[in-house]
């Protein structure tokens, strides 16, 4: 079966057991990442909600200074990205929204994110954890959170202003978020083949 979407041709093999799985995946809802124009994340999110698309736009609060005055702002935690829960079948509903550039993926197809990763991020932010954007890390000490609302997540550890920060990286979009943690909540993750201790 050949399906034409947004000027692109997508081939789905509906024959055999593998084809039924591909077709089922095409119609099942998963989390994807929509890449947006700069500073369009909130507009895109609102527009998608009006279209009844499940959206997750993590926000953080920060203070900015303009002309000597301070303003409290709520900005996207992942600038230029909005998380959407859709089936691939419904991706045009997202791509038609003004401000959406494309769905993040490889080989011309959107790549789904693990549900657990999104739910952990959602739960952590709903617990009131103070998060802020952080540059994506390519190296550093790998750690696993062993206590608190982020338990089970792995990431990097950094120090900032005498505080320990845990950096969670979303590899697909090459973005990271840092949060304050206690060192006692972390354990080092050793690479395969290296000795612990």
Q: How many domains does the chain fold into?
A: 2
99 and 31 housed in the same domain: yes
Of 65, 85, 113, which marks where a domain is finished? 113
Of 113, 147, 175, which marks where a domain is finished? 113
CATH number for position 71: 3.30.70.940
108 and 176 housed in the same domain: no
Of 113, 139, 155, which marks where a domain is finished? 113
194 and 167 housed in the same domain: yes
Task: Please tell me the pTM assigned to this model.
Answer: 0.70
Task: Give all strands (DSSP E) within the chain, no chain letters.
Answer: 2-5, 8-11, 30-36, 54-56, 59-66, 69-76, 81-86, 100-103, 105-106, 109-110, 131-134, 142-145, 154-160, 163-170, 175-180, 186-188
109 and 119 housed in the same domain: no
Place 31 in a pLDDT band, splitting at 50, 70 and 90.
Answer: very high
Which residues lie closer than 8 Å to 144 by C-beta, 6 or more apart?
Answer: 152, 153, 154, 186, 187, 188, 189
Q: Which tens digits make up the pLDDT trace of 3-29?
A: 444 444 444 444 444 555 566 678 899
Q: Which tens digits make up the pLDDT trace of 146-188?
A: 888 888 888 888 877 778 888 888 888 989 898 888 878 888 8
107 and 119 housed in the same domain: no
Q: Which tens digits make up the pLDDT trace of 86-127?
A: 999 999 999 999 999 999 999 889 999 999 889 988 988 898
17 and 89 housed in the same domain: yes
Q: Which tens digits make up the pLDDT trace of 45-91?
A: 999 999 999 999 999 999 999 888 999 999 999 999 999 999 999 99
Q: What is the pLDDT of residue 40?
A: 98
Q: What's the domain range around 56?
A: 1-113
42 and 101 housed in the same domain: yes
């Amino acid at each position: 079966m050949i399906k034409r979407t947004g000027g692109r041709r997508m081939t789905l093999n509906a024959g055999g057991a593998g084809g039924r799985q591909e077709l089922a995946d095409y119609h099942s809802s998963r989390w994807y990442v929509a890449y947006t124009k700069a500073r369009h994340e909130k507009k895109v999110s609102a527009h998608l909600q009006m279209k009844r698309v499940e959206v997750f736009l993590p926000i953080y609060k920060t203070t900015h200074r303009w002309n000597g005055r301070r303003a409290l702002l709520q900005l996207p935690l992942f600038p230029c990205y909005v998380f959407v829960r859709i089936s691939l079948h419904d991706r045009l509903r997202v791509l038609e929204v003004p401000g959406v550039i494309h769905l993040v993926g490889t080989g011309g197809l959107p790549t789904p994110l693990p549900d657990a990763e999104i739910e952990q991020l959602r739960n952590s932010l709903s617990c009131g954890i103070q998060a802020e954007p952080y540059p994506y890390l390519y190296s550093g000490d790998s750690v696993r959170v062993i206590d608190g609302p982020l338990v089970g997540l792995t990431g990097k550890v950094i120090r900032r202003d005498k505080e320990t920060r845990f950096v969670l990286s979303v590899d697909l979009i090459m973005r990271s978020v840092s949060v304050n943690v206690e060192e006692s909540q972390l354990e080092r993750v050793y690479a395969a083949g290296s000795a612990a201790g």
